[in-house]
Amino acid sequence: MRDAAAVASPRKLSTGRAAGSEAAGSEAGEPRADAGLADAGRADIGRAEGPGPGERQRPLRSAQWYETEGLRSFSHRARTRQLGFLPEEHLGKPVIAILNTWSDINPCHQHLRERAEAVKRGVWQAGGFPLEFPVATLSETFQKPTPMLYRNLLAMETEEVLRSYPVDGAVLMGGCDKTTPALLMGAASVDVPAVFVPAGPMLRGHWRGETLGSGTDMWKYWDEKRAGRIGDRELAELECGLARSPGTCMTMGTASTMASAAEVLGVTMPGAAAIPAVDSGHSRMAAAAGIRAVELVRADLPLSRFLTREAYQDAIATVLALGGSTNAVIHLVAMAGRSHIPLSLDDFDRIARDVPVLADIRPGGRFLMEDFHYAGGLPGLLTRLAEAGLLHLERPTVAHATLREQLDGAGVHDVEVIRALDNPVAEQGGLAVLRGNLAPDGAVIKHISAEPHLHRHTGPAVVFDDYRTMQATINDPGLGITADSVLVLRGSGPLGGPGMPEYGMLPIPDHLLKQGVSDMVRLSDARMSGTSYGACVLHIAPESHIGGPLALVENGDPITLDVAARTLHLHVDDAELARRRAAWQPPPRRYGRGYGALYEEHITQADTGCDFAFLSREGDVPEPHAG
C-alpha cells in the first residue's frame, strides 16, 4: 500500500479514488488517505493563471549571472567550471537553491544532509540545476538563550541568500521549531518559487512498556523524579528512550504544528508534515519537492501565488483542529506580515469558536505523530475540516490547481486518532485569546491541555521577576505557595527574555507535586514549548520589560483567569496601578553591540509576531546587478 508520501510521483496520474479494501480502522466507505495524492507533481498546476511548465514568459533570473556577454558572466561560467560542472549541466536550466538547516548539533535535522541528496535527485530529474546552501540551524534543544532570538536572523539569511545568488527557485529544508517560520518568512519576502520540506517527526519513544512522547513525557517524568516517585536509574533509562531517531518531537509540539501549517498553506508536498523522518516515504517526498521546485520556476509561480489571506485563515483553522502549539500564533502572524496580509490575535479567537479539536495527539490527546501519519495524516484531517465547510478549497497549492483537488481521495483510517466531527476531542479549538487589564494587547492559553477546574480560577499572585530567581526560589516554603496560588513570571518576553524563551510552563513546587497537585495557573510574558501542558497563560502583551501591566503585579494581588469569558483580570484599582506605574523604572539595555543590539532596537511585541519592523514593512528591494 502506498503511503501519503507517494505524494512523490512527478507525473500526472488519475485523481480517482483508489480501489480495494479500506485499511483497518477506517470508517466504512471512506477513501484511503493516500489515494489520488500520487499526482502531487501534476504538470497542469497553475494553468488557470500564468504560464505552465515550458511556457515561462520571462527569462530565468539566473541568466543574469550566466548568459550575458560581459566579463562578469564569463567569470561566473569559469567559476562554475571550477566547481566541476559542464555547461550542459546548468546553462539555461532553472537553478534551485536547497537551503539546508542540517547541523551536527541539531538532532531534529540529523538526516537532512541525506535528504538534500534526494532533493537534488528530483531537481536533476526535472531538468534543473541544484545548489545546496548551508544556513543557520536554530536547534531548539541546545541554542541559548532561545532560538526565538535568532528566528529573524535565519529569515534574513534566507532572504539575502536567495536574493544575492543566481537562484530561480528554492527548496527549504527545516523542521525544528523556529526553522519553519524563519525559512518561509525569508522566502516570502524575496518571493521566489519555493517548496518546503519538513524534517518529519521522530519515531515514538519507549520505556518499560510505555509509549513516550518526546518533550511531553520529559516534563512529566522530570516532575515524577522531583516528587520522589522515580529515581536516578529510571531517569537514566528515560534519557535513552525519549528520543530514538532523527526527527522533530513526535507530539503535536511546535515543530509538527508548523509543519502542518506549512502543508495547509499549500507550500509542501501533500502529506509531507507527518511522514516520520526515517520512513522511506520521507526521501521520496524530498525528491518530489525537488521536481516541483523546477516546475514552479518554469510556470513562474512564486510563493505569493499560494500565501494568500485564505491560506493563512485555513492554517489557523488547522492549527486549532490539531490542538497545536501556542507558538503558532506568533509565527503565523509574523509569516502573514511578510506576505503583507493582516493577521491578528482576534482572527485566532474568532476562528477558534467554530473549529473543533479533531486530532487526539499529545500533549492534549493520547496519540503521537506516527499514529497520525498512519491514520491519514494532515490530508485526512483536512477532509474533516472540508466536510464542515471550514476551508477555502478553491485556492491553489504548490502541488495542485486547488486544495479541493489535492484532497481528492484523501481520508481517515483511524477514527480514534483523527476524530469525526460528531465526536471531537473538544468542541472548540484548543487555543483561546485572553484580554483584560493584565493583558490589554492579548495573551494566549492552550486550555485543551489544562485541567478543566482551572479554566475559571481566582488566586493570589506569587511573583518572580526573572527565570533564574524563580528557579532558585520556587521551592522556598517562605513563599507560601498553595495549589490556589497564581504563579507569575515576568522579565521573559521578547525584550526581557531576551528572545521570549520557553519559560512559560513554570514548575510546580516540589511539596505540591508530592501532594498530588499536577496543574496550577501560571502567567508570563514568555512562551512555552509546544510539547508542554498545563494552565499556562502565555505571550502576555505588552511585556513587563517595557512597562506592561505584568510589571505592576505584586505578591498577594488577586488574579482571575476566565477562559470562557476570554479574560485575564488583575483585581487592583486603577489608582493603585497608577501609583505603581509612576514608581516603575525600565530595566537597562543588555546589548551594547552585535546582533543583540539590532534585535533590541527593532523587535516587535508578541501580538504582532515578534518580527523586526524593518523586515515586515512594505518597500522595494532592488535586484542585484549581476553583470
Give the pLDDT confidence of 514-542 residue by residue, as tens digits.
Answer: 999 999 999 999 999 998 999 999 999 99
Q: Can you tell me the mean pLDDT for 408-430?
A: 96
Q: Are residues 313 and 383 in the same domain?
A: yes
* 389 lies in the same domain as 467: no
What's residue 32's pLDDT?
34
Band the pLDDT of 173: cuts 50, 70, 90: very high
On whether residue 60 sits in a domain, the answer given is no
The CB-side HSE value for 544 (13 A sphere, CA atoms) comes to 25
Non-local CB neighbours of 159 within 8 Å, separated by 6+ positions: 185, 186, 187, 189, 190
Query: What is the pLDDT at residue 207?
Result: 94
Taking 3-state DSSP, the helix, strand and coil percentages for the chain, each rounded to the nearest 5, stand at: 40, 15, 50
- Of 351, 372, 407, the last residue of a domain is 407
Asked whether the predicted pLDDT for residue 626 surpasses 70, the reply is yes
Which residue segment(s) compose the domain that 169 sits in? 93-203+245-407
Mean of the per-residue pLDDT values of the chain: 91
Residue 567 located in a structural domain: yes
130 and 272 both lie in a single domain:
yes
Looking at the fold, whether 259 and 403 belong to one and the same domain comes out as: yes
The answer to whether residues 388 and 487 belong to one domain is: no
Q: Out of 8-17, 34-43, 209-218, 325-334, which region has the weakest mean confidence (pLDDT)?
A: 8-17
Q: Tell me what pLDDT residue 430 has.
A: 85
- Res 291: pLDDT: 98
Q: How many CA atoms lie within 13 A of 563 on its CB side?
A: 26
Domain holding 513: CATH number? 3.50.30.80
Share of the chain above pLDDT 70, in %: 91
pLDDT attached to residue 55: 56
Q: Does the residue 524 lie in any domain?
A: yes
* DSSP bridge partners of 210: 207
Across 334-341, average pLDDT: 97
- Chain-centroid distance of CA 259 in Å reads 6
Identify whether 69 is part of a domain: no
Nearest to 301 by CA among 195, 403, 166, 161: 195
Sign of the dihedral defined by the CA atoms of residues 402, 404, 405, 407, in that order: positive
Residues 485 and 353 in one domain: no
Q: In what order do the strands lie in the sheet with 129-134?
A: 129-134, 95-100, 169-174, 194-198
Q: Are residues 284 and 155 in the same domain?
A: yes
- For 417-429, what is the mean pLDDT? 96
Segment (H or E) for 307: none
Determine, yes or no, domain membership for 416.
Answer: no
The pLDDT score that the predictor gives to residue 436 is 98
Residue 1 has pLDDT above 80, yes or no: no
Neighbouring residues of 461: CB distance < 8 A, sequence distance ≥ 6: 485, 486, 488, 553, 554, 555, 556, 557, 558, 559
Question: Percent of the chain having pLDDT more than 90?
Answer: 88
Cell numbers given for 352: 477558534
Do both 477 and 358 map to the same domain? no
Residue 20 lies in a domain: no
Higher-scoring residue by pLDDT: 129, 30: 129
Q: What is the pLDDT of residue 506?
A: 96
Q: Reply yes or no on whether the pLDDT at 289 is more than 50.
A: yes
pLDDT > 60? residue 200: yes
pLDDT tens-digit readout, 222-235 = 999 999 999 999 99
User: Over 60: is that where the pLDDT of 123 sits?
Assistant: yes
**Residue 44 C-alpha from the chain's centroid:** 29
Query: Residue 195 has which C-alpha cell?
Result: 517548496
DSSP state of 531: T
Instruction: Say how many CA atoms lie within 13 Å of 246 toward its Cβ.
Output: 22
pLDDT band at 296 (very low <50, low <70, confident <90, very high): very high
Do 437 and 568 have their domain in common? yes
- Is the pLDDT at 29 greater than 50? The verdict is no
Closest C-alpha among 147, 111, 101, 98 to residue 247: 111
| DSSP structural state of residue 357 | B
The answer to whether residue 14 is domain-embedded is no
Q: What one-letter code names the amino acid at 116?
A: A
> Comparing 38 with 251, which gets the higher pLDDT?
251
Provide the phi-psi class of 491: left if phi over 0, else alpha when psi is between -120 and 50, else beta: left
Q: Is the pLDDT of residue 43 over 50?
A: no
Q: Given this model, what pLDDT does residue 219 score?
A: 84
Mean pLDDT of 303-310: 98
Residue 49, pLDDT > 80, answer no
Average pLDDT over residues 129-153: 97
Query: Cell numbers 488583575 label which residue?
Result: 570
Residue 618 lies inside a defined structural domain of this protein: no
- Taking only the tens place, the pLDDT of each residue in 440-458 is 999 999 999 999 999 999 9
Judged against a pLDDT cut of 70, whether residue 47 lies above it is answered with no
Q: 57 pLDDT exceeds 80?
A: no
| Count of structural domains within the chain | 2
At residue 216 the predicted structure's pLDDT band, cuts being 50, 70 and 90, is confident
Are 364 and 469 part of one and the same domain?
A: no
The pLDDT-based confidence of 171 (bands split at 50, 70, 90) is: very high
Q: Are residues 126 and 163 in the same domain?
A: yes
- In the predicted model, is pLDDT for residue 107 greater than 90? yes
Query: Rg of the Cα trace of the chain?
Result: 25
Whose CA is closest to 112, among 121, 125, 99? 99
Classify burial at 349, counting beta carbons within 10 Å of its beta carbon; exposed 0-12, middle 13-18, buried 19 or more. Answer: buried
Residue with cell 479539536: 357
The pLDDT of residue 168: 98
Q: What pLDDT does 56 receive? A: 62
- Residue pointed to by grid coordinates 513562474: 300
Separation of alpha carbons 36 and 115, rounded Å: 24
Question: Residues 522, 534: contact at Cβ < 8 Å?
Answer: yes
Same domain, yes or no, for 305 and 447?
no
Q: CB of 123 within 8 A of CB of 159? A: no
* For range 293-319, the mean pLDDT: 98
Cα 424 from Cα 593, distance rounded (Å): 51
**pLDDT one-digit tens code per residue, 553-612:** 999 999 999 999 999 999 999 999 999 999 999 999 999 999 999 999 999 999 999 999
